[in-house]
Chain A
Amino acid sequence: MLRFTFERALGMIVTMFFVSIMVFFIMEIPPGDYADRYAFRKYSGTGVNVTEADIQAIRRELGLDKGMIFRYFDWIGGIVLRGDFGQAFAFETSVVKVIGDKAWLTLGILFSTLLITYIVSIPVGIYAAVRRGSAADYGLTIFSYLGLALPNFLLALILLYFANKYFDADIGGLFSPRYADAPWSLGKFWDLITHLWLPAFVLAWSAVAYQIQTVRATMSDELNKLSVTAARARGVPEAKLLIKYPARLAINPVVSTIGFDVNRIFSELPIVAVVLGLTELGELLLRAYLDLDMYVAGAILLLLTAMIVIMNFVSDLLLAWLDPRIKLGA
């Protein structure tokens, strides 16, 4: 087990190394010179006339005159050694400061979404498989089709609208105005919780739809396995039988796709964040892209991917723990 963990951790680091190269390329793609944009941002409206020499100076200051490989190692070195993600020029401060709390809020959204996803989809998927062909099963199938088809920014809008119309509540955002800029306190934390459920619900929507189908399919397969019949032939009570034999195995594909779910959630996050007015990384990423503030964008892309890679690692370990057959192959 220890060796398995070590190997997977090593694989994780290798993956992240390649991901960082890809992210760096994306940061480099936008046309025009970073120094131009930097100068434009810094001096626009100040009346200062920017000369070519000024831009050259900025270029040297930011190390942009060096080669790409040097700049990559400078960038990644800063992140790994000093936790320094570079400068966010649109905010005129460091990327770390801009990201700050938002990373924790994003994690909060992520884990509440995952929680909702699994709490709903696993039992419902099992139920649908056991009651295969019943009205409830068909209803759930239709629901999960809809869940996959409805773009979640629409769902967010619809929910906002109804909350507004029938409850006269402004449920967007992550905090009430009262707490938005307040320091952390128990009250603010509770305020966050009461706001978190909506983005979590919206983001969980398609994940639930997807996982219900996965669980239902695996559970249906497992129910037909000889081992279930054999256990029944030994007189194992039905409820215990369902949980101990097929359901236990139906969870495996869910565990093995945790990373996939996180990927999907992060994919949808920026758009949902725009509609719901969430002040977290997805929304910041979108803004950074629109401003071509590539150090911020790169940092966020790297962080989100790192989270996915970590969750993949967790899912590998969980799976190895859940399924004794896996250790053999390790």
Chain B
Amino acid sequence: MDTLLSVENLSVSFKTDEGVITPVQGVSFTVARGKTLGLVGESGSGKSVSTKALMRLLPGSATIAPEAKMHYLDKHDKLIEIEKLKGKGAPIRALRGGEIGMIFQEPMASFSPVYTIGNQMIEAIRLHKKLGKREARAHAIEMLDKVGISNPQARVDQYPHEMSGGMRQRAMIALALSAGPALLIADEPTTALDVTIQAQVLELMSDLQKDLGMGMIFITHDLGVIAQIADEVAVMYLGTIVERGPTRDVIHNPAHPYTVGLLEAIPSLDRLDERLKPVPGDIPSPNERPQGCPFQTRCQHVVDGLCNQTAPLETPLAAGHSVRCWLHDEKGKSAA
């Protein structure tokens, strides 16, 4: 497999008034060229922080633990050690946008309201491609056309507030892709959209991905969306990956109680007469991390003296499928 990005042992901590919190702890994952990794979890599980760390977009109060490794293979097959780059300067800027593009949940807020869509696209294009103004504009129009915006020649000169929500999200995708990144990070791109538009945007994204041969990290809290778009999935809970594996495998044979809970929480047409089963309880705040397994406070199968004492290690189940849960560990099985 052709690995585009590999992240190992990523931990991020923030200094706050209440002390140091660590919303991401020892996260590792890889993204293959042209494939999609889905990152799933509730808000506060550390999905967004991990990808922001990858782009070095974290605020000054955040530190990335020194043992973290974020290796990226760029378009010229040069290995870039992202964790070693300076937070400012040409190398990281070339990476941002040019190699790794990013789209966000709220398209309205991610555009500056006082510049046209075209202005912001042309800026991005000219930062990463050696194009003149006119060529950049032509490229911007071409990108808008590619994401399915009708009449792109006129739309390019419109302001974000002059577009509808779905169109803005398409424009946002066009903007992120205009500089030709090899990896796209999509941070809950469909959450703020209507269901029908959501489906259109998902289809568009997977088409574009095949078209451009991009790798993609798709962040969402919705396992249903993951099933449609991701090749691999990693389920995050309170800053750690609790289960990972090929999407089909994880969805059909979920191993972690949390994954099971997330799947049961999806409304389904087949089970209309059943009640929805939400995952009980709330995700603890990062400064009140439970001891042992992070999920033990909400887990129905908690083993006293084990789950609330020691954090489980990653246990392989099948090819590429692994879980962090005592129930699947020899030691845990005997204790239960």
Contact = CB atoms under 8 A, between A and B. Distances in A.
Decide whether A and B are members of one complex. Answer: yes
Interface of A: 225-227, 229-238, 244-245, 248-249, 322-325, 328
Contact of B114 (A229, A238, A322): A322
B102 A230 contact: yes
A328 B114 contact: no
Given A226-B104, A238-B88, A231 B95 contact: no
Interface of A is mostly: helix
Contacts of A237: 93
A229 B120 CA distance: 13
Interface in B92-125: 93-98, 101-102, 104, 106, 109-115, 120, 123-124
Given A235-B95, A235-B128, A249-B112, 12 more contacts: A230-B102, A233-B97, A234-B101, A234-B123, A235-B96, A235-B124, A236-B123, A245-B112, A248-B114, A324-B159, A325-B113, A325-B161
Given A233-B55, A235-B124, A249 B95 contact: no
A237 B88 CA distance: 8
A227 B110 contact: yes
**Quick one: which of A233, A236, A244 has the most chain B CB within 10 A?**
A233
B110 A230 contact: yes
B149 interface: no
22 contacts: A227-B109, A227-B113, A229-B57, A229-B110, A230-B104, A230-B110, A231-B112, A231-B120, A232-B96, A233-B97, A234-B123, A234-B176, A234-B179, A235-B94, A235-B97, A235-B128, A236-B97, A236-B123, A244-B115, A324-B113, A324-B114, A325-B113
B98 A328 contact: no
B292 to A, nearest CB: 35
**Quick one: which of A227, A229, A235, A244 has the most chain B CB within 10 A?**
A235
B276 interface: no
Contacts of A238: 88
A225 B110 CA distance: 8
Contacts of A225: 109
B13 to A, nearest CB: 19
A213 B221 CA distance: 40
A233 to B, nearest CB: 4
A230 B111 contact: yes
A233 B58 CA distance: 11
Interface in B220-266: none
Given A235-B127, A236-B123, A328 B161 contact: yes
